[in-house]
Amino acid sequence: MPSKDTTTEKNETTGNLVTVYIMGKPYEVPSELTIMKAQEYAGYRLIRGVGCRGGFCGACTTIYRKREDYKLYIDLACQTKVEDGMYLVQIPFVPAEKPQWNLEDLEANSDSIIHFFPEITRCVSCNACTQACPQNLSPMRAIQAIRRNDLKMAADLSFDCVSCGACSVRCPAEITHYHVFQLVRRLVGRYVQKRAEHTAERVKEIEAGEYDADMDILVGLPEEELKELFVRIREGNPLQLPEREVGKHD
């Protein structure tokens, strides 16, 4: 019987060590590591600046410079490999208040957005936000789409935003893009996209109790009968309950 400890030897590295400066202090870490894992390798237990570790949550925004390179880079620590001579720091939090709104009181237009975020009118289109975005989105284009009252385009352009806040740190107009985009997307989802009629219809049927009697029968059937029913519906057949009155929804 195999056991889990034999599938591989633990913890060998064939890679080189590189020097990274974590908040200025040099550490030697294996070159294969991500910035996040390099910090852990160096002994930092992360609480801030860490989240899903898979590029989805935007918690691990990291700022760094490379050797002999003046440029300031912003990336997600869990998605970026260390490089020799890298100076880095994690951003624990991006300071910004999220205004409170009630979607039901708003209309889907740029005035609604500007009401909460008048600063978006200060955008000078410098595009620093785009250069900062670890997701390769263009917050500037989305902000300008709002100015054109094209909320759908702004929602589409910002859909993959993980709210890391990198753009907001760099913005000279002091826009908090991720809060702006959240409002835009909700307005589009609520008012621009059409409603799913078939979903509402099914909700009505269920609430009217149209499935209750059949459900009572179904959940009481023995497992063998259920398996037979499943094989039949799996082939695309409509569901036929055994020995019952004909239901309304067949």
* Residue numbers 62-121 binding another protein by CB under 8 A: 78-81, 98, 100-103, 109-111, 121
Closest separation in Å from C-beta 36 to another protein:
9
Q: Which of 23, 67, 69, 148 binds another protein (CB under 8 A)?
A: 148
- Residues 27-46 close enough to bind another protein by CB under 8 A: 30, 32-34, 37-38, 40-41, 43-46
- Taking CB under 8 A as the criterion, the residue among 88, 91, 123, 137 binding another protein is 123
Task: Please report how close the Cβ of residue 55 comes to another protein at its closest, in angstroms.
Answer: 8
Binding segment for another protein (CB under 8 A), chosen from 2-10, 20-28, 62-70, 83-91, is: 2-10
Cβ distance to another protein smaller for residue 63 or 120 = 120
Q: How far is the CB of 98 from another protein (least distance, A)?
A: 5
Q: How far is the CB of 63 from another protein (least distance, A)?
A: 18
Residues paired with residue 18 on neighbouring β-strands, in sequence order: 29
Tell whether residue 17 is a contact of another protein (CB under 8 A).
no
Residue number with CB closer to another protein (12 or 243)? 12
Q: Residues binding another protein: what is the number (CB under 8 A)?
A: 108
Binding to another protein, residues 221-250 (CB under 8 A): 223, 226-227, 229-230, 233-234, 236, 238-239, 241, 249
> Please, which residue, 68 or 198, has the CB nearer to another protein?
198
Nearest approach in angstroms of CB 77 to another protein is 10
Transcribe the chain into DSSP letters. Answer: ---GGGSS-S----SPEEEEEETTEEEEEETT-BHHHHHHHTTPPPSTT-SSSSSSS---EEEEE-TT----EEEEGGG-B--TTEEEEE------PPPP--GGG--SSHHHHHHH-GGGGG-----HHHHH-TT---HHHHHHHHHTT-HHHHHHHHTT-----HHHHH-TT---HHHHHHHHHHHIIIIISPP-HHHHHHHHHHHTTTTHHHHHHHHTS-HHHHHHHHHHHHTTPPP--SS-PPPTT-
CB atoms inside a 10 Å sphere around CB 241: 17
Is residue 52 at the binding interface for another protein, with CB under 8 A as the rule?
Answer: yes
Question: Which 164-223 residues touch another protein, going by CB under 8 A?
Answer: 182-183, 185-190, 193-203, 206-207, 211, 214-215, 218-219, 223
Nearest residue to 71 (alpha-carbon basis) of 94, 87, 91, 95: 87
Q: Are 54 and 5 in contact (CB under 8 A)?
A: no
160 binds another protein (CB under 8 A): yes
Lookup: tokens for 236: 């695309």
